[in-house]
Amino acid sequence: MSPADASPARPDSDAGAAANIAARLPRDPTTAAAARRLLRTRLRPFVAEDTLNDVLTVVSELVSNAVVHGSGEIELRVAFDGTRLTGEVADEGRGFARPQGKPAPDPTGVNGLDLVERIAGAWGVHEGCAQVWFEIPERRLC
């Protein structure tokens, strides 16, 4: 995995906190775990633990899908502007259409895109390419 860019942490203030992360990931069975480690390290200073867990779950599913169903190198981008976290996972494949209706679960009883649907505030696919985007609102702990 190549180095990713991120803004420096601002430990004394959440106002205006921002992070931008971009990484090219290898097509490898361990890539989802590497993406989680990267995001955990880079986002922890900026977002609440619940939000971080949501992001890690969504990214893990999307990166795993890219490894299993995509082709070529995988690109991960995540940005946090202080209130909203956005991201995308893309590979060099031809893409797919967003599933309509409720997809059948995999052998473990879970469908990953259904999980993404439940966690993300919004998500979708860019037509004609293998790129899935998502948004997750920041949840502050009071």
- Kindly report the CATH number assigned to the domain that includes residue 129: 3.30.565.10
8 part of a folded domain: no
The pLDDT confidence band at residue 23, using thresholds 50, 70 and 90, is very high
Contact 124, 96 (CB under 8 A): no
Domain that holds residue 97: 19-137
- The pLDDT tens digits of the residues spanning 55-77 come to 999 999 999 999 988 899 999 99
Main-chain dihedrals φ then ψ at residue 43, nearest 5 degrees = -95, -20
118 part of a folded domain: yes
* Cβ-based neighbour number of residue 30 at 10 Å: 10
3 part of a folded domain: no
Q: How far apart are CA 50 and CA 73, in angstroms?
A: 29
Strand, helix or coil for residue 104: coil
Q: DSSP letter at 16?
A: T
Contact 77, 19 (CB under 8 A): no
Split into its structural domains, the chain has a count of: 1
Strand, helix or coil for residue 36: helix
14 part of a folded domain: no
The pLDDT confidence band at residue 133, using thresholds 50, 70 and 90, is very high
Query: Of 66, 76, 71, whose CA–CA distance to 36 is shortest?
Result: 76
39 part of a folded domain: yes
Q: What is the pTM of this model?
A: 0.77
12 part of a folded domain: no
Mean pLDDT across 80-107: 73
